[in-house]
Every structure is written in C-alpha cells, then in structure tokens.
C-alpha cells in the first residue's frame, strides 16, 4: 500500500518507516502539518498516519480540513494524547482509527490492514434501498437526485443502517460496529455523524424526508419508503 506518515518526532518516524517498509509498504514521510495536508489533498494514498502535535498545523487541523474537503483517504491518528476526550474528539472529527503512543508496529500494521479493507470493500460494488444507493468503492451516496461523498465513518454507519431497513439500531450497537467502542462513554459521536450524513444527503431536496430516521430515546433506522 501507499502510506503517508505525518510525524515530526524523528525516532518514531524512523521506527514506523522501518516497520512499514519491511512489511512491503511504500511510505512517504513529512514532518509538519502543512506538508501533510497538502499531500493528503493533492496525492492518492491508501492510508494516512497522523500525529496530533505537529508544527505549522496541528493534527486536529489537518484532520478537520481533510474531512471538510471530503477526502476519502482513511486517517489513523498516532498520538501521545491518550486521554479519552482527545480520542473521542479525533473520532468525532472523522478519524478512522486512533492508536496511542507508545505502540507496537505490529498493531499499527494490523490497523492499517483493517481500515484499508473497510475502505476498499470491492466484493460488492453498490448497496441500494429504494431511492438510496451507496457505492462501496468510492463511498458515493445517492439519495434521489443528490450525490454526496461520505467519509469512512459516515459510509460505515449508513451501510450498517442499510443492512436492515426499518430496523432500529441503538447508539451502542452503532458505536460498537462503526467505531469498535464496546462501552458507553456518554459520547455524541453517533449523533454528530448522523447529522453530517443528513446534511450531505438533504442538500438541494425540498420536502423529501431524510433517509435516516431518529427514534427518540432508542437510536436510528433507515426509513422505509
């Protein structure tokens, strides 16, 4: 795979470069946020590995701008900021995974493989339910005449709901499936992600209800047309 490493600590960068290269990956390394964001937006990569405490532009700023540009590259945060609020903030902003430092390169490789598999999912090209369709390769969603490019988390959440239209999925079920969080951290990750999907799919439509329906006090379901 072609991997972008955005890390300013020389020893950590050298450690990661050595491990990923030995595993057969092609790695491009930059040591500040501005260069990292430029490469995310201008070049094609299979995965980006992002530190948070970077010169010129913080990792959170890089993540925010990359997701605002609807760039589909999966982003794994690799950071010494290990507190739960920082990790939840990363997920809320669209990170596909979060690996705290210190770490084993074997675990980083496993996470790279996992997010890459989620991203590609090439065995099924399209999922369709009524007027809603989802391209599993490009992450392009279509709702009536509206087309929207979804992030990895948005794609995973919508595809999960599309498994069984009309079935109500709890926030805890969605957290477990989409973020692999197996406990309730009292976070609004799910609600924030749903709002982003709705904004993208409702753009330009008049009078047509969103395909995602909120069930008060329970969770979400895909609306039955």
Closest Cα to residue 199, out of 136, 140, 146, 162? Answer: 146
Q: Please indicate, yes or no, whether residues 218 and 179 belong to a single structural domain of this protein.
A: yes
Instruction: Judge whether residue 207 has pLDDT over 70.
Output: no
Q: Please indicate, yes or no, whether residues 113 and 140 belong to a single structural domain of this protein.
A: no
Instruction: Judge whether residue 182 has pLDDT over 80.
Output: no
3-state secondary structure of 33: helix
Q: What is the CATH number of the domain that holds 87?
A: 3.40.50.2300
Provide the pLDDT confidence category of residue 170 given band limits of 50, 70 and 90. very high
Q: Which residue has the tokens 């007027």?
A: 131
Q: What percent of the chain has pLDDT over 90?
A: 40
Q: Please indicate, yes or no, whether residues 14 and 70 belong to a single structural domain of this protein.
A: yes
Instruction: Give me the mean pLDDT over the 117-145 stretch.
Output: 79
The sheet carrying 126-129 orders its strands as 126-129, 132-135, 140-143, 146-149
Q: What is the CATH number of the domain that holds 209?
A: 1.10.10.10
Q: Please indicate, yes or no, whether residues 87 and 194 belong to a single structural domain of this protein.
A: no
Where is pLDDT greater, at 27 or 117? 27
Instruction: Judge whether residue 148 has pLDDT over 70.
Output: yes
Range of the domain at 168: 126-222
- What pLDDT, on a 0 to 100 scale, did the predictor assign at position 123? 47
Q: Please indicate, yes or no, whether residues 147 and 66 belong to a single structural domain of this protein.
A: no
- What pLDDT, on a 0 to 100 scale, did the predictor assign at position 3? 92
Domain count, the chain: 2
Q: Please indicate, yes or no, whether residues 199 and 134 belong to a single structural domain of this protein.
A: yes
DSSP state of 176: I
Q: Please indicate, yes or no, whether residues 114 and 9 belong to a single structural domain of this protein.
A: yes
Q: Please indicate, yes or no, whether residues 6 and 112 belong to a single structural domain of this protein.
A: yes
For the record, the structure tokens of 65 come out as 């701008």
Instruction: Give me the mean pLDDT over the 32-40 stretch.
Output: 91
Mean pLDDT for the chain overall:
87
Instruction: Judge whether residue 122 has pLDDT over 50.
Output: no
Instruction: Give me the mean pLDDT over the 126-142 stretch.
Output: 88
Instruction: Give me the mean pLDDT over the 190-195 stretch.
Output: 94
- What pLDDT, on a 0 to 100 scale, did the predictor assign at position 120? 60
Q: Please indicate, yes or no, whether residues 95 and 130 belong to a single structural domain of this protein.
A: no
Q: Please indicate, yes or no, whether residues 96 and 44 belong to a single structural domain of this protein.
A: yes
Instruction: Give me the mean pLDDT over the 127-145 stretch.
Output: 89
Domain termination residue (choose one: 120, 141, 176)? 120
Q: Please indicate, yes or no, whether residues 146 and 208 belong to a single structural domain of this protein.
A: yes
Domain termination residue (choose one: 76, 105, 120)? 120
Domain termination residue (choose one: 88, 120, 152)? 120
């Amino acid at each position: 795979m072609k991997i972008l490493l955005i890390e300013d600590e020389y020893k950590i960068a050298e450690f990661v470069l050595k491990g990923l290269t030995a595993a057969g990956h092609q790695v491009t390394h930059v040591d500040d946020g501005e260069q990292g964001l430029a490469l995310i937006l201008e070049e094609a990569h299979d995965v980006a590995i992002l530190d948070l405490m970077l010169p010129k532009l913080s990792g959170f700023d890089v993540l925010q701008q990359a997701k605002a540009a609807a760039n589909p590259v999966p982003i794994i945060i690799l950071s010494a900021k290990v507190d739960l609020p920082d990790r939840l903030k990363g997920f809320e902003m669209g990170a596909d995974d979060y690996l705290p430092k210190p770490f084993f390169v074997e675990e980083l490789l496993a996470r790279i493989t996992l997010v890459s598999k989620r991203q590609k999912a090439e065995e099924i090209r399209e999922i369709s339910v009524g007027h809603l369709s989802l391209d599993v390769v490009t992450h392009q969603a279509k709702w009536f005449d509206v087309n929207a490019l979804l992030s990895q988390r948005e794609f995973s959440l919508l595809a999960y709901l599309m498994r069984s239209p009309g079935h109500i999925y709890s926030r805890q079920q969605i957290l477990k499936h989409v973020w692999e969080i197996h406990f309730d951290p009292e976070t609004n990750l799910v609600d924030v992600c749903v709002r982003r999907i709705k904004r993208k799919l409702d753009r330009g439509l008049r009078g047509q209800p969103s395909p995602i329906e909120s069930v008060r006090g329970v969770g979400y379901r895909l609306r039955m047309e």
